[in-house]
Structure 1
């Protein structure tokens, strides 16, 4: 979060974050000599946001270079299409204030913010992508246009204070994720047990963490264990029978088996654990609860959040 690639944000869809601001008096954009257009709102005594108006050139109340601004932010292109919204994630983002990459840059915009301010900035898209993002401008951004940023500054801190806050946020996020996973795995376990009964699967066993597996054809080779290089053919499907993908039908790999090092976190946890129950030459069914697969990550229609996965696998090779 505090790296130099501070503005390289994913282009994802979402809802606008900036709350409706009070439109009393002078609710208009102001433009600095460097070309940066802005509207900055501060909260008044009545708890309403008001446009601060034009900021004096010698105003030094905003964030300083070397400090870190914790904020929520979204931005849109000239066609009013939303490109990014930080509220799609659970925590605000932290951006170090650095030397401007060009005049009228996003770095310049940050130096106009104090903790609690909301703002709207218009920044030249050509310069932003070339000098700040360091990327070619995508086709949905018009040359010569502006990107409009909607920002709510939560905190302005020293780097040390921001790192401490970041650590706290990460700990909170881990606790929330763990609590969700513990609850979700119970829900998934009931569904898997019902599926096993419905499908009349035989000789099903369960690992301590919750992966169900049924060996349909026992192999005679060595037992797979952490650190082994393994080669696996698989078919992935959901419990409703919908097939998602198959290694044998994958044009990207030419139908070759999938190879990886077991127990190194190169695959989902359910695979590391499930494959380690098998011997070389085995065929098996793995039923993996969502916390041991892709969790609550929504990967589109192909992989909705909290998906329980079935893998029909064949462990072809175990290289010790």
Structure 2
């Protein structure tokens, strides 16, 4: 959870900072280690104002061993946003560790108190080689700085952060389940319209909502959880657009797709739909999005909440 690689996952400050004059200039400062920064704090009215230069002996920021919960983004020298935690709709947690170089991200975190927002310029070469342990990507020019925008929400002990993360994950799972329950009702209505419009006959439905039509009854054994099954398939959206097929997949050489049934190795709609078939059967599976790829889009090829049709053939069961 708090591995070194999590430091690569960094987020962005949403909206412009609202600055109010408090006798301190809105300007960058530089620490003795070469870290260039601006830090803003909220006043009693909830507006941001420059915090000014942070003294070397200041102890109001995060300490080594603590965990900072924050929203953060970072940009390259061309001002292109490379990462933004707000796109993920949740803050990230980063443990404060010993600095890996002078002017590091770790130093920036020790200057942040809960509620502070900051802008930090960090040398890209040092960050990747000494903190990330990775070569500099081609979209980041050597010798330039990355600009980090950080909004510190909490500074906690590791134990408190773990408890918070567990609670957050539970809330996310609950929210996702509630959205899925609503979406499957919407999808069910669309699938019924599709069945009627395409005059599909002898349609059956699993308890969780997968519709299936056996177009050719096989004479072999019934597929069951734990079996290794081989399936030929063609996947389309309800508008007929094909997105995948085992028949012309260059990775498999046109061979059937093999997987252990009922082990969660495929989408839930497949585990349930294939389990309704006997070896040698051909069928149509109509899968609502919560039993397919859900609310997460998978690039332009697979939009969020996609209802899927699969024309399948259960070739073999072992």
**Structure 1-normalised TM-score?**
0.95
**1:1-320 alignment to 2 at 5 Å?**
1-9=1-9, 17-22=14-19, 24=21, 25-319=24-318
Distance 1:151 1:260 in 2: 44
**Distance in structure 2 (CA, Å) of the matches to 1:115 and 1:199:** 58
SS at match of 1:215: strand
- Supply the distance in 2 between the matched residues of 1:221 and 1:105 (Cα, whole angstroms): 64
How far off is 1:90 after superposition?
Answer: 2.6
TM-score when scaled to structure 2? 0.96
Equivalenced residues, count: 316
Asked if 2 retains the 8 angstrom alpha-carbon contact of 1:226 and 1:264, the reply is yes
Residues 18, 118 of structure 1: 8 Å contact kept:
no
For the residues of structure 1 that align with 2:199 and 2:283, how far apart are their CA atoms? 15
Residues 30-73 of structure 1, C-alpha deviation per residue, up to 9 Å, x if partnerless?
11122211111101123211111111111121101111100001
Residue 159 of structure 1: CA displacement? 0.8
Inter-partner Cα distance in structure 2 for 1:263 and 1:147? 46
Distance 2:176 2:71 in 1: 21
Deviations along 1:172-192, one digit per CA (max 9) or x if unpaired, are 101110110000000000000
Matched-pair contact (CA < 8 Å) for 1:41–1:117: yes
Partner of 1:151: helix, strand, or coil? strand
Q: How much has 1:239 moved relative to structure 2?
A: 0.2
Q: Assess if the C-alpha contact under 8 Å between 1:71 and 1:94 holds in 2.
A: yes
Q: Which range moves more in the overlay, 78-87 or 32-41?
A: 32-41
Shift of 1:88: 1.1
RMSD: 1.5
Shift of 1:103: 1.6
Contact 2:12 2:149 survives alignment (8 Å): no
Change in 2 beyond 3 A, CA 1:169/1:19: farther
Measured after TM superposition, the shift of residue 94 of structure 1 is 0.8
Cα shift at 1:23: 5.6
Structure 1 residues 192-211: Cα deviation after superposition (integer angstroms, max 9, x where no partner) = 00001111111111000000
* Distance in 2, Cα, partners of 1:286 & 1:48: 55
SS at match of 2:8: coil
Distance, in Å, in 1 between the alignment partners of 2:80 and 2:20 is 23
Instruction: Give yes or no for contact 2:20–2:47 (8 Å, CA) kept in 1.
Output: no
43-52 or 239-248, larger mean C-alpha shift: 43-52
Instruction: Quote the Cα distance in structure 2 between the aligned partners of 1:3 and 1:95.
Output: 9
Verify the 8 A CA contact 2:12 2:85 in the aligned structure 1. no
SS at 1:136 equivalent: coil
Secondary structure of 1:83's match? strand
Gaps in structure 1 of 5+ consecutive residues:
none
Q: Distance in 2 between matches of 1:195 and 1:219?
A: 25
Cα distance between partner residues in 2 of 1:241 and 1:15: 39
Q: Secondary structure at the match of 1:7?
A: helix
Tell me by how many angstroms 1:116 deviates.
0.4
Provide Cα deviations, 1:69-92, integer angstroms capped at 9, x if missing partner: 000011111000011110111321
Aligned mates of 2:287, 2:144 — CA distance in 1: 48
